[in-house]
Structure 1
Amino acid sequence: MVLSPQDIHNKEFSTKMRGYNIDEVNDFLDQIIKDYQITIEENESLKSKNREITKELNYFNSMKDSLNQSIIVAQEAADKLKAKSQKEASIANSEAQKAADKILDDANKRANQTLDKASNQTKELIAVNDALRKSNQSFRNKLNDLLNAQLEFVNNENWSSAENSSNDALKSATDAINELDNPKGSRVNSKDKELSGDLKSTITFYPDGSFEIIK
């Protein structure tokens, strides 16, 4: 049992012969009581401070646990958000790649179609040009025959036989004109043309060897 200052104060000692001086003992006990009282008060103060510090420590420990838990929750949320963002970015990138591939494929298809169409048109133009060139050459040959026949007719003394040759040459020239008038191959019968008199067409020759038919 811990003694209190009051216990010390109330303590009584028995006396004996040649014992201690009672007054000195009492004075010393009074000093002890004072010092002990101070020690007790300081101890209580320290206990009170210790309780406060312990309370604050518990509070801070609680805050630390709460902060740690918050950090863990925030880290988990950040990891989830990062994973979600990466997934969405991957999906968006994949969709963008698919869209770009589709656009590129469509552009290639349109370009190939355009090239094929242009190639076909070029072939058709070449074929038409060849046909026109052949028709032109045929016309030039027949026209040359016509001119030669006319020249022969003028220089020939036998007009009747020369006239027949001239008519044949006119028929060939008329057929050549029909070929130019009907590029698809449809021809007009030379009998439908008036062979006597003018052919109702004017042929203009140029220095470069080309010519033009004006009806």
Structure 2
Amino acid sequence: MVLSPQDIHNKEFSVKMRGYNIDEVNEFLDRIIKDYQLTLSENIDMKNRLKQTEDELKYFNGMKDSLNQSIIIAQNAADKVKVEAQNEANNVTEQSRKQADEILNDASVKAKDIVENISNQSKALLIANDDLRKTTESFREKIRTLLESQMQFVNSPEWDQMISGIDGNFDKVNEQINNLDNFKETVVQSEGKEMPADATIKIYPDGSFKAIE
């Protein structure tokens, strides 16, 4: 048991011969009591402070636990937000990729259709051009054949004979024409048949003529 200042103050010692000076002992004990009292007061104060410190430490530990819990909650919330944001970003990226793929596929299909249409038109144009070339070549060949035939006809000896016959029979033909004018309103005799004045007459290069019914 710890002695109190009062215990020290009330302590009595037996007196023997040649013992200590009682006054000096009492004085020294008084000093011890004061120092002890001061030490006890300081000890009590230190205990109170220690208790206060322990209470504060307990409070701060509680705050620390609360803060740690808040930090954990905040970290979990941040991780959740991060995961959700990453998922949202992944979804947006996936949607964007799908839309880009759809746009690219549509563009590819349209481009393919356009190229195929242009190719078909080009092929049709080439076929039409070839047909036109063949038709033009055939037409040119026909014209050339016709012209060659006409040139052969023009250059035939019959034309020279005809021209010579026309020159030789010009007077005779002229006379026949004049006779036709004179008998315009009368009946014309030809090859033993009667012809009206408005009958169609065919005149030959030798000056002869006949009616065409």
TM bin (shorter chain): 0.5 to 0.7
Q: Within 2, Cα distance between the matches of 1:154 and 1:85?
A: 99
The structure-2 alpha-carbon separation of the partners of 1:148 and 1:42, relative to structure 1 and needing over 3 Å to count, comes to: same
Letter in 2 for 1:140: R
Unaligned ranges ≥5, structure 1: 163-215
Q: Within 1, Cα distance between the matches of 2:144 and 2:23?
A: 174
Q: Within 2, Cα distance between the matches of 1:112 and 1:25?
A: 123
Q: Indicate the SS of the match to 1:158.
A: helix
Number of the residue aligned with 1:46: 46
Q: Within 2, Cα distance between the matches of 1:99 and 1:53?
A: 66
Q: Within 2, Cα distance between the matches of 1:17 and 1:144?
A: 180
1:55-77 CA-to-partner distances (Å, cap 9, x unmatched) read 22122212221221122112211
Shift of residue 81, structure 1, vs aligned partner: 1.5
The structure-2 alpha-carbon separation of the partners of 1:158 and 1:7, relative to structure 1 and needing over 3 Å to count, comes to: same
Number of the residue aligned with 2:74: 74
The structure-2 alpha-carbon separation of the partners of 1:138 and 1:25, relative to structure 1 and needing over 3 Å to count, comes to: closer
Number of the residue aligned with 1:187: none
Letter in 1 for 2:145: D
Equivalences for residues 17-28 of structure 1 within 5 A: 21-28=21-28
Moved over 6 A (4+): 16-19
With structure 2 as the length reference, what TM-score do the two structures score? 0.65
Larger Rg: 2
Question: Aligned Cα RMSD in Å?
Answer: 2.5
Number of the residue aligned with 1:108: 108
Q: Within 2, Cα distance between the matches of 1:133 and 1:20?
A: 156
Number of the residue aligned with 1:166: none
Number of the residue aligned with 1:168: none
- Aligned residue-pair number: 160
Unaligned ranges ≥5, structure 2: 163-213
The structure-2 alpha-carbon separation of the partners of 1:21 and 1:134, relative to structure 1 and needing over 3 Å to count, comes to: closer
Aligned-pair identity in percent equals 57
Q: Within 1, Cα distance between the matches of 2:147 and 2:19?
A: 183
Equivalences for residues 8-19 of structure 1 within 5 A: 8-12=8-12
Q: Indicate the SS of the match to 2:81.
A: helix
With structure 1 as the length reference, what TM-score do the two structures score? 0.64
